Structure 1
Amino acid sequence: MADPSQPDDPGFLTNFQVDRKSLLTRDIGERLLALSPSPVLLLDMKSASIIEANPAAQAIFGSAQLPLVGTHFMHCFRHPEDGKHILDERLEHVALQYFVLGAGRHLPVELDLRRLDDAGVILVFIRDLTSRLALDNQRLIAQRNYRLLFDNAPQPMMLLDKGFVIVGANRAAAILYGFADNEIPLLSLKAMLVNPRDLDQYRVQLDPRTLAPQWHWRTDGSQRLIEPSVSTLRRERQTFLLVVLRDVTDSEHQIAELRRAEERWRFALDGHGDGVWEWLPQSGEAIVSQRFLDMLGFGVEDARHPFDYWDARVHPEDYLRMHLAIMQHFLAESPVIAGEYRMMTVDGQYRWLAIRARAIETDASGRIDRIIGTVRDVHEQRRQEQRERLQQEQLMHTARLATMGELVTMIAHEVTQPLTAISNYSAVARRHLQRQGDSVPADATHALNRISELVSHAGEVVHRIRSFVRKGELRLEPISINVLIVDVARLAEIQARALSAEIDLDLAIGLPELTGDRMQLGQMLLNLARNGLEAMGAVDGPRRLKLRSALNSENEITVEVEDCGCGLSAALAMDVITPFFTTKPEGLGMGLAICKTVVENHQGRLWVSAAKPAGTVFHVALPVR
């Protein structure tokens, strides 16, 4: 007996199994619909109407569930025939379509369709493309703007691929190379290079760089000097070279012409005997011409040195003056640097050079970039000027000496008369006292005798001065130098007492006599002694004048007059015996010069040295005859 719970028709069992499978498949679809966070629609395959829509799908359309369910799938599209085409062609993926939303709005979407044939349904997965399309739109706008910028940029630019083929160029580049229609065809950069080996400079590097100028061909066969700037550019997973081109042909021609002009200028200056020098203050480098080097005795290897190298060779006395001229030019207070300065030669000597320079280049901030100048050797001219100046001074000295001779003659004449009167009056007074007999004090007689001696001595001095000025003959006689020194000390004693000074004698014994004019030699020594006493007038402490005599190895009698005054510098020691040179406010500068002449008239020598620890020593050496 058949089991009533089992159906008798086997077909029913088959249909039951199919329905159960379809229900199971549909249940899986509904579960996917509920669990998916992305918008999902469930369509009936036969009617193409929406059976189910998850909340994310409802949010897209902005409607409640019931109005969306039952809507035909084609009515979701901006163009319903697009929906029909998708269903008829059984498409599984649609990259872009537009759904119709409320208020006339359209939603860009990407669709993925999965057919569950057993259940008779279609799962439609929806992806909102609004943000992606906005980005794509921005990218397209940016690309369009970049292209506009690239095409219309005033600087010529090219885009090269990894094979150095020109895959893009703007209008400025096409005009630079002379292409018609302002467009460069696809061609290799190598074909545009005059020297194909320049292509090696375009190797891909990460850092932008400017290449050395290189010659490029134009379509008309002419050449232009181009300075390329290269940088890398990644686009669509490819690496390109962006090349910005700068035409420096005209600038190079101008620089070349400037160099030729400078060469002509340097040639003209060298031909005139002037040297040329160039200074770059920003780098500190100095460049000098061969003529400049010849003036100072340097070789060609010294043509380039830092400016400080030459600056250190300026004479210390001219250094500040030269730098003051440079500073005034840098501060725009002087249009040129000009002056005559001494510079040390290679052998350590100094030569006078006339320097003249000016700034010819400045940077954007106004700082001086380049100074060019000339230098001329004026050493011989300076020496000639010095010789002429010395000759002029000697002529002036001669004229003053002639005037002095006339004055001395006149003064001697005027002094002789009162001296004669004094001598006569003292003689009368002495005879008058002699008549008085023993009642006359001895001091009065001694005083009158002393007056007669001094008047006689003064008269002799005046006579010798007149003879000296008139170049009269010397009155030669044997002289004991020690006796002469004692007489001089006695005459200088009055002045020494007035200055609270002492006179020390250190006389060698047994000195031979010398032949000379007693009056002139005595006056010479007295003048030296008085100078020494006057030099100690401002000295605090003991004041001592030393007179020494000796016989040297050359058979000369030497006399030294040493004071302890303030002394003389090395420079003054060389000039102090020069005529008309004096350190005294009221002095004439003739005393020591006359002393020197007296000594030289006796074939002797007069010189000066420093005393120790302080003071001055005048040395006199006279030959023994």
Structure 2
Amino acid sequence: DSLGRWFSVAEARVTLPGSSHVTLQSALDITKRKINEQEFEEQTSKMENSSRLITLGEMASTITHEINQPLTAITAYANTALEVIDRAPEVNKTQVLEIYRKIANQAARIDKIIKNIRAFAKRRPTTLECVSLNSVFSDTMELGRLIEKKYAGVHVVYELPAVVPDVICDPVQIMQILMNLIRNAAEAILEHGSEDKTIMVSAKVGAKDVELSVGDHGPGISDTMKASLFTPFFSTKKNGLGLGLSTCQTIAESHNSRLRVRDNEGGGTVFFFDLKICFTKDSENKKQN
């Protein structure tokens, strides 16, 4: 610490002629490597955040519309409540309470939308923890509805098994991967003019992992392009920045996984990656029983 430098220290036992033994120690200055690693991590974090903000920026008008709907409903309900209270000789308590419940529900809807957007946009380090995959899918569905409204005709279907285990992940980052893949699929489908505009988001549970996948019936991806898909600044889109998939790959790698691609049956593409199942003591006991 006093030098402000990093060293890699190694120790080895050496046998000298005459069978005597000595301990050989070596210290290699790796300060430059550590600085480069830290700078790379900072740049990766900035790139990841930029990718999220680009996604939200592209959907800004849809987000505004999504919030305006419940606001309009709240205004209408409030005006109705005022009319009921003002005109009726005796206030119908049940009717007024029902109106206020509807106002509260719409306000809660706005609150949930804003919280999801703030969590999605916030820059923070990767935090791996045991998380409910159902919860991750639920939050993804909320933002997925924005994509359905932005890309008219596209329909996102979520397929989960009856029993979904907890997984080890950073939920916001996994949601970022899914959102990016869903948006890419929507753009590919509409650009290609596919008849089948369904995007399938699936979870397949294995012995130790859960495979998450996003599939479409768009134009597909050639083998040549597959080799460069996850390279930074490589894009199959005319005006694409090439940050999305490379960022998704970086996130997947921070979860000890890899984002991969395969052809979809009947045409199109499937992107998929794995998350480790979180085995708690309770889950192990249930498995043994």
Alignment TM-score, normalising by the size of structure 1: 0.29
State the match for 1:619 in structure 2. 272
Offset of residue 442 of structure 1: 5.3
- Provide the C-alpha distance between the structure 2 equivalents of 1:517 and 1:504, rounded to a whole number of angstroms: 23
Aligned residues: 204
Offset of residue 520 of structure 1: 1.3
Counterpart amino acid of residue 550 in structure 1? K
Offset of residue 496 of structure 1: 2.3
State the match for 2:202 in structure 1. 548
Q: Mark the CA change 1:444 to 1:514 in structure 2 (over 3 Å): closer, same or farther.
A: same
Offset of residue 444 of structure 1: 4.4
Offset of residue 586 of structure 1: 2.1
The secondary structure found in structure 1 opposite 2:226 is helix
State the match for 1:580 in structure 2. 233
User: RMSD across aligned C-alpha pairs, in angstroms?
Assistant: 3.6
Q: 1:516 aligns with which of 169, 173, 176?
A: 169
Is the contact between residue 47 and residue 247 of structure 2 (CA under 8 Å) also seen in structure 1? no
State the match for 1:593 in structure 2. 246
Per-residue CA deviations over 1:376-428 (Å, capped at 9, x if unaligned) read xxxxxxxxxxxxxxxxxxxxxx7x9579559949x79xx9xxxxxx9xxx9xx
- Provide the C-alpha distance between the structure 1 equivalents of 2:48 and 2:242, rounded to a whole number of angstroms: 17
The secondary structure found in structure 1 opposite 2:140 is helix
Is the contact between residue 482 and residue 549 of structure 1 (CA under 8 Å) also seen in structure 2? no
Per-residue CA deviations over 1:47-66 (Å, capped at 9, x if unaligned) read xxxxxxxxxxxxxxxxxxxx
Q: Mark the CA change 1:403 to 1:448 in structure 2 (over 3 Å): closer, same or farther.
A: closer
State the match for 2:214 in structure 1. 561
Query: In terms of Rg, which structure is larger?
Result: 1
Is the contact between residue 543 and residue 564 of structure 1 (CA under 8 Å) also seen in structure 2? yes
State the match for 1:485 in structure 2. 137
Equivalent runs, 1:80-91 vs 2, <5 Å: none
- Provide the C-alpha distance between the structure 2 equivalents of 1:407 and 1:495, rounded to a whole number of angstroms: 19
State the match for 1:62 in structure 2. none
Is residue 451 of structure 1 aligned with residue 104 of structure 2? no
Is the contact between residue 536 and residue 565 of structure 1 (CA under 8 Å) also seen in structure 2? yes
- Provide the C-alpha distance between the structure 1 equivalents of 2:114 and 2:176, rounded to a whole number of angstroms: 15
The higher-RCO structure (CA 8 Å, 6+ apart) is 2
Equivalent runs, 1:397-546 vs 2, <5 Å: 401=43, 405=47, 408=50, 438=96, 443-463=102-122, 466-467=123-124, 472-474=125-127, 476-497=128-149, 498-537=151-190, 538-546=192-200
Equivalent runs, 1:7-406 vs 2, <5 Å: 401=43, 405=47
Offset of residue 613 of structure 1: 2.1
Q: Mark the CA change 1:510 to 1:403 in structure 2 (over 3 Å): closer, same or farther.
A: closer
Per-residue CA deviations over 1:132-186 (Å, capped at 9, x if unaligned) read xxxxxxxxxxxxxxxxxxxxxxxxxxxxxxxxxxxxxxxxxxxxxxxxxxxxxxx
- Provide the C-alpha distance between the structure 2 equivalents of 1:592 and 1:508, rounded to a whole number of angstroms: 27
Per-residue CA deviations over 1:9-63 (Å, capped at 9, x if unaligned) read xxxxxxxxxxxxxxxxxxxxxxxxxxxxxxxxxxxxxxxxxxxxxxxxxxxxxxx
- Provide the C-alpha distance between the structure 1 equivalents of 2:170 and 2:201, rounded to a whole number of angstroms: 20
Q: Mark the CA change 1:405 to 1:612 in structure 2 (over 3 Å): closer, same or farther.
A: closer
Per-residue CA deviations over 1:485-514 (Å, capped at 9, x if unaligned) read 243234212322543122233322223211
The structure in which a higher percent of residues are helix is 2
The secondary structure found in structure 1 opposite 2:259 is strand
Alignment TM-score, normalising by the size of structure 2: 0.60
Q: Mark the CA change 1:536 to 1:443 in structure 2 (over 3 Å): closer, same or farther.
A: farther
Q: Mark the CA change 1:616 to 1:579 in structure 2 (over 3 Å): closer, same or farther.
A: same
- Provide the C-alpha distance between the structure 2 equivalents of 1:582 and 1:608, rounded to a whole number of angstroms: 15
Q: 1:605 aligns with which of 230, 255, 258?
A: 258
Counterpart amino acid of residue 451 in structure 1? I
Offset of residue 441 of structure 1: 6.1
Offset of residue 563 of structure 1: 0.3
Counterpart amino acid of residue 508 in structure 1? P
The secondary structure found in structure 2 opposite 1:564 is coil
Offset of residue 515 of structure 1: 2.1
Divergent runs of 4+, >4 A: 400-409, 439-444
Is the contact between residue 605 and residue 622 of structure 1 (CA under 8 Å) also seen in structure 2? no
- Provide the C-alpha distance between the structure 2 equivalents of 1:587 and 1:550, rounded to a whole number of angstroms: 31
- Provide the C-alpha distance between the structure 1 equivalents of 2:47 and 2:260, rounded to a whole number of angstroms: 25
Q: What is the aligned-residue identity percentage?
A: 25
- Provide the C-alpha distance between the structure 2 equivalents of 1:592 and 1:571, rounded to a whole number of angstroms: 16
Is the contact between residue 485 and residue 525 of structure 1 (CA under 8 Å) also seen in structure 2? no
Offset of residue 484 of structure 1: 2.0
The secondary structure found in structure 2 opposite 1:505 is strand
Is the contact between residue 528 and residue 618 of structure 1 (CA under 8 Å) also seen in structure 2? yes
State the match for 2:4 in structure 1. none
Per-residue CA deviations over 1:569-593 (Å, capped at 9, x if unaligned) read 0011121111111111222111111
Q: Mark the CA change 1:448 to 1:620 in structure 2 (over 3 Å): closer, same or farther.
A: same
Q: Mark the CA change 1:571 to 1:594 in structure 2 (over 3 Å): closer, same or farther.
A: same
Is the contact between residue 210 and residue 275 of structure 2 (CA under 8 Å) also seen in structure 1? yes
Counterpart amino acid of residue 267 in structure 2? A
Q: Mark the CA change 1:512 to 1:540 in structure 2 (over 3 Å): closer, same or farther.
A: closer
Is the contact between residue 503 and residue 545 of structure 1 (CA under 8 Å) also seen in structure 2? yes
Counterpart amino acid of residue 495 in structure 1? I
Offset of residue 473 of structure 1: 4.6
Q: Mark the CA change 1:517 to 1:403 in structure 2 (over 3 Å): closer, same or farther.
A: closer
State the match for 1:570 in structure 2. 223
Is the contact between residue 576 and residue 592 of structure 1 (CA under 8 Å) also seen in structure 2? yes
